[in-house]
Amino acid sequence: MGTLDGKTGLIFGVANHNSIAWAIAQKLAAEGARLAFTYQGRMEQNVRKLTSANMPDAPVLPCDVQSDEDLDAVFDEVGKTFGGLDILIHSVAYAPTEDLKGRIANVSRAGFTAALDISAYSLIAMSKRAEPLMQQRGGGSIIAMTYLGSERVVPGYNMMGIAKAALETSVRYLAWDLGPQNITVNGISAGPLRTLSARGVGNINAMFDLVEQVAPLRRNIEQSDIGDLAALLCSSQARNLTGEIIHLDAGFHVMGLGTM
């Protein structure tokens, strides 16, 4: 028996087989969870290809996270199909390319608004809709993906760092709001990974080299590491863990300077 037998989950953010959200989905499914997925626009084919080969019974639903109507439709369908919800995975982020590579002082108002809406407010919007479905199941687990650039300056991460800082604060306030309903809310601050979204970050290859040189464990993480941690956070073993931003980066975040 898996640690998540009988649990249901909704996954936002799968783009392809390298996606963090897909690594999480694979681990949750392996532990017995029944899952539903969303996609936006051109990602439909990728998501359907992955799910049809691995989870053919999983609902796959369209959703633009900036649309309240789309979010309403997704959570309504998931509630009807699953009879509630136990797990919500938020792996959604966006900032215009020019706001990642340029100077923060030059970020446009429109770019700032879009990054905060898609990367941070979407967690609040999803959690609001997940709450009544999780109450039907006696509680639940919400997990959001973040990165160290929310806490420290990472050149090339720029606007996304500001958006992730808002996301992490949202995690803490949502943990307070939803705790009485037995809903945990946590964030995973993962080390750099080779994903589709990582291509937009400047100096990404240098980041991998730096982690191997400086992190206490002298290695980079893999997508499967995040899946393992997410499964733990969704299980009863983490029932009293909430409001946390957990760093999963081979210890890189503890370092102040590189090796001497």
CATH number of the CATH domain containing 57: 3.40.50.720
Number of domains in the chain: 1
Asked whether residue 260 is assigned to any structural domain, the reply reads no
What local confidence, expressed as pLDDT, does residue 259 receive? 58
* Cα–Cα distance measured from residue 109 to residue 165, given in angstroms and rounded to the nearest whole number: 18
- Among residues 57, 36, 37, the alpha carbon closest in space to that of 46 is found at 37
Of 39, 94, 157, 173, the catalytic one is: 157
Asked whether residue 186 is assigned to any structural domain, the reply reads yes
- pLDDT (tens, 9 = 90+) of the chain, 260 residues, equals 799 999 999 999 999 999 999 999 999 999 999 999 999 988 999 999 999 998 999 999 999 999 999 999 999 999 999 999 999 999 999 999 888 888 999 999 999 999 999 999 999 999 999 999 999 999 999 999 999 999 999 888 899 999 999 999 999 999 999 999 999 999 999 999 876 565 555 567 788 889 999 999 999 999 999 999 999 999 999 999 999 999 999 999 999 876 55
- Residue-number span of the structural domain to which 34 is assigned: 8-250
What local confidence, expressed as pLDDT, does residue 201 receive? 57
Asked whether residue 3 is assigned to any structural domain, the reply reads no
Cβ atoms 205, 199 nearer than 8 A: no
Cβ atoms 185, 193 nearer than 8 A: no
Strands laid side by side in the 8-12 sheet:
60-62, 34-39, 8-12, 87-90, 140-146, 183-190, 245-248
Of 39, 94, 147, 173, the catalytic one is: 147
Asked about 94 being catalytic, the answer comes back as: no
Asked whether residue 1 is assigned to any structural domain, the reply reads no
Whose tokens are 């019974």? That residue is 57
What local confidence, expressed as pLDDT, does residue 155 receive? 86
Asked whether residue 150 is assigned to any structural domain, the reply reads yes
What local confidence, expressed as pLDDT, does residue 48 receive? 96
What local confidence, expressed as pLDDT, does residue 196 receive? 56
Asked about 147 being catalytic, the answer comes back as: yes
* Cα–Cα distance measured from residue 245 to residue 242, given in angstroms and rounded to the nearest whole number: 9
